């Protein structure tokens, strides 16, 4: 990555207003098509 070390794990926790807060591992959240 930026300091010359490999990225071993990358986890997105937020994209815009969407977050994974409150979701357990393996859970998912349905997002209405109009929000894409």
pLDDT digits (tens, 9 = 90+) for 3-14: 888 988 888 888
Q: How confident is the model at residue 27 (pLDDT cuts 50, 70, 90)?
A: very high
Instruction: Quote the CA–CA distance of 20 and 14 in Å, as a whole number.
Output: 7
Could you tell me the end-to-end alpha-carbon distance of the chain, in angstroms, rounded to an integer? 29
> Which of 6, 1, 36, 4 lies closest to 18 in space, CA to CA?
36
Instruction: Quote the CA–CA distance of 30 and 24 in Å, as a whole number.
Output: 14
Residue 35's pLDDT is what? Answer: 56
30, 23 in Cβ contact below 8 A? no
């Amino acid at each position: 990555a930026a300091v010359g070390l490999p990225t071993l794990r990358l986890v997105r926790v937020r994209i815009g207003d969407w977050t994974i807060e409150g979701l357990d591992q393996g859970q998912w959240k349905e997002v209405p098509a109009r929000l894409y």
